[in-house]
Amino acid sequence: MTALREKPKAISILMFVAWVSFFILAFHSHAFAADRPNILWISCEDISPHLGCYGHPQATTPNLDTLATQGLRYENAFTVTGVCATCRASIITSMFPSSLGNQFMRGSVDLPDHVRLFPSYLREAGYYCTNNSKTDYNITGNHSRCWDESSNKAHYRNRKSDDQPFFAVFNIKNTHESRIFNYRRPENLKNDEFHDPALMELPPYYPDTDITRRDWAHYFDNITSMDKIAGDILQELEEAGLADDTIVVFWSDHGVGLPRAKRWIYESGTHVPLIVRIPQKFQPPGQAEPGTISDELVSLMDLGPTMLNLAGIELPDAIHGRAFLGNSRSEPRQLIYTIRDRMDERYDMMRAVRNHRYKYIRNYQPFKPYFQITNTMEREHTMKELRRLHALNMLQPAAAQFMVDSKPLEEFYDLKNDPHEINNLIDQANQDDELRQNLDSLRRAHIDWVFETRDTGLIPEAELARRGKLLGTRFAILNDDPDHGRELLERLLATNRMACSPKTVTPLVEAYQDPDPAVRFWAITGLGNLRTPSPEALAAVRQGLADPVATVRVAAARAAWQLGKPQLSLEALRLAARSDEEFLSLSAMHVIDEMKDQRDDFMEVIRWVDQNGKGYPVRIAKYLLSQNTP
């Protein structure tokens, strides 16, 4: 009987504990929501800071202009690269893609264990994270794994409780470059909101024609259309009663979707708009007050750490990004670093570093032209105009200088007096103390950055993929053994410099004896660039054609052709072009494209790649076949 009488008492105690727990959890949930802001991102594609709030006279962007008056506008925000996938990789990981090995367009990689996609930290802290809907992170696996919801229906209103804080991303696609060369009149614009091509002011590196003016007008039409969509997103937030609880961030994934902008690391390709509105109750002291403008240097790679900081979440240690807002704000950047590697089907390698006024660019493949043929870019009307007028020798100097067959080893610009980066001051710096001091400082900063971030760019992509597979990640190649990684970088930098500006045969022949295939690749590339068919050089090239690593054999085939022995190159290139390794095949197709006088010797393999290849090599095969058509 005693036990029976005690049971209701026990149940009452359990019910009391349950009710107390419920109220504690409910209170905690409300407190959590009250203490931590919601975060809403509005991202768009392929625009520079061509908004009214940035003072651009041709822009019609009333909604984003209003947002800027309510928050903080950054004058000096930059992407890490000039193209979407690699830029988004840097944002989602807060890391330089060149450290992870995914600096190549659509070159997805496995991440090392310590690198996480930053929304996962917000989810762990209780945030409901949604992405609507672009991923394109240049990483393997499920791109949606860091989101509660990632689709074109993803929305913060889908969370189960209104008390749960959210991080929501809305990506507006209608400013993408394809909306210029496949232009359709935006349906949300009135007739008087379209831009008159005759009134457009073109950058000096474009020819002034009806076609280029029309492209520029369509670009601004799309921006106005995007602004209306952004306004709808902001209005929806307001109507939901969430504007006073939500940090809003607007940004673009890189610069203008036109030639010498998108895919490039000039200002036109990496300088982007960035606006941050923080409700008063979440504003850190002295930060992001309405209507303020900042000239602080910011990289979009910093977005993730900044959101974590604003949400009160501790930043992970092993990231390159910094928090530019929040109670634990990082030291402001003094320099911005940008990178360019393979863009679509064409290899290149450029690195840049800038301070508030000057910019230094190092071209690691100066023997390649600025405007290599790429499938997507060649569809652009402005690109067609550049090629047409170049063929007629009718381009103005500012445009013509980017149509040449090679690039300088270094570029150096005064951005204050030359914002379009037309006048390379690399030679003038030798006669001017201020220029020389800034040039030397930026050169040193660039080399320091290469070592600090363990830049993998000088390892050919096919070789990078091979080693990454052996070690588990590409990041491990230069980081598993730091001393070995540094020594390898030193040899790569030295050999690349010889390859870019070769003077004598012997140092390159000696470098070819290096145990690392990437160093041998650059040594044999340099022997070809030297174009001195000495017995010593030819012996090294023949040795290279039998190298155990296929990437080196392809470089040796190119060198054999450059040294006047094209018949030596045929077998190596035919085998590599047929490889099922996409980027080995691509490197071979590059060389076949260069060897224009030998095109007939490769027609069979070109057709084979066109019919049986995969990925980017097929694009080059189709281009070569189109050139062979009468």
Residue 420 reports pLDDT greater than 60: yes
Q: What is the pLDDT of residue 22?
A: 39
Residue 27 reports pLDDT greater than 80: no
Sign, CA torsion 492/493/499/503: negative
Report the alpha-carbon distance of residue 24 to residue 448 in Å, rounded. Answer: 52
DSSP secondary structure, 419-456, as one string: TT--S--TTGGGG-HHHHHHHHHHHHHHHHHHHHHT--
Using the 8-state DSSP alphabet, how is residue 333 labeled? B
Report the alpha-carbon distance of residue 572 to residue 551 in Å, rounded. Answer: 10
Closest CA to 297 of 332, 264, 270, 271: 332
Region 300-306: mean pLDDT is 98
| Pairing of β 358-363 and β 350-354 | antiparallel
Q: What is the dihedral of CA 535, 538, 540, 545, to 10 degrees?
A: -150
| Mean pLDDT rounded to a whole number for the chain | 94
Region 468-477: mean pLDDT is 97
Region 381-388: mean pLDDT is 98
Residue 558 reports pLDDT greater than 50: yes
Q: What is the pLDDT of residues 330-371, one digit of tens each?
A: 999 999 999 999 999 999 999 999 999 999 999 999 999 999
Higher model confidence: residue 578 or residue 6?
A: 578
Q: The tokens of 85 are what? A: 């996938």
Q: The tokens of 299 are what? A: 């990289």
Region 204-210: mean pLDDT is 98
Report percent pLDDT > 70 for the chain.
94
Report percent pLDDT > 90 for the chain.
93
Q: What is the pLDDT of residue 33?
A: 53
Contacts of 354 (CB under 8 A, 6+ apart): 335, 336, 338, 360, 415, 442
Q: What is the pLDDT of residue 17?
A: 39
Instruction: Return the residue matching tokens 């800034």.
Output: 438
Q: What is the pLDDT of residue 25?
A: 38
Q: The tokens of 437 are what? A: 């001091």
Angle, helices 517-530/535-545, rounded to nearest 10 degrees:
140
Q: What is the pLDDT of residues 69-113, one digit of tens each?
A: 999 999 999 999 999 999 999 999 999 999 999 999 999 999 999
Instruction: Return the residue matching tokens 């090294």.
Output: 540
Instruction: Return the residue matching tokens 């910019």.
Output: 359
Report the alpha-carbon distance of residue 169 to residue 213 in Å, rounded. Answer: 33
- Global confidence as pTM: 0.94
pLDDT band (50, 70, 90) for residue 28: very low
- CB–CB of 302/323 below 8 Å? yes
Report the alpha-carbon distance of residue 40 to residue 35 in Å, rounded. Answer: 16
Closest CA to 555 of 499, 616, 620, 507: 499
Q: What is the pLDDT of residues 309-321, one digit of tens each?
A: 999 999 999 999 9
Report the alpha-carbon distance of residue 215 to residue 41 in Å, rounded. Answer: 28
Q: What is the pLDDT of residue 411?
A: 98
Beta bridge partners of 39: 167, 247
Q: What is the pLDDT of residue 142?
A: 77
Report the alpha-carbon distance of residue 359 to residue 148 in Å, rounded. Answer: 41
- CB–CB of 586/616 below 8 Å? yes
Query: So which residues are the catalytic ones?
Result: 84
The DSSP H or E segment spanning 518 is helix 517-530
Q: What is the pLDDT of residue 94?
A: 98
Q: What is the pLDDT of residue 34?
A: 60
pLDDT band (50, 70, 90) for residue 485: very high
Q: What is the pLDDT of residues 250-295, one digit of tens each?
A: 999 999 999 999 999 999 999 999 999 999 999 999 999 999 999 9
Q: The tokens of 604 are what? A: 């069979």
The strands making up 410-414's β-sheet, listed across from edge to edge, are 336-340, 350-354, 358-363, 410-414
Q: What is the pLDDT of residue 145?
A: 79
Report the alpha-carbon distance of residue 350 to residue 342 in Å, rounded. Answer: 10
- How many residues in the chain? 630
Q: What is the pLDDT of residue 213?
A: 98
The DSSP H or E segment spanning 213 is helix 210-239
- CB–CB of 496/450 below 8 Å? no
Higher model confidence: residue 302 or residue 20?
A: 302
Q: Which runs of consecutive H residues, i.e. helices, occur in 101-201?
A: 119-124, 178-181
Report the alpha-carbon distance of residue 463 to residue 481 in Å, rounded. Answer: 18
Q: What is the pLDDT of residue 24?
A: 39
Beta-carbon count within 10 A of 190 CB: 7
Residue 55 reports pLDDT greater than 90: yes
- CB–CB of 264/87 below 8 Å? no
Region 41-49: mean pLDDT is 98
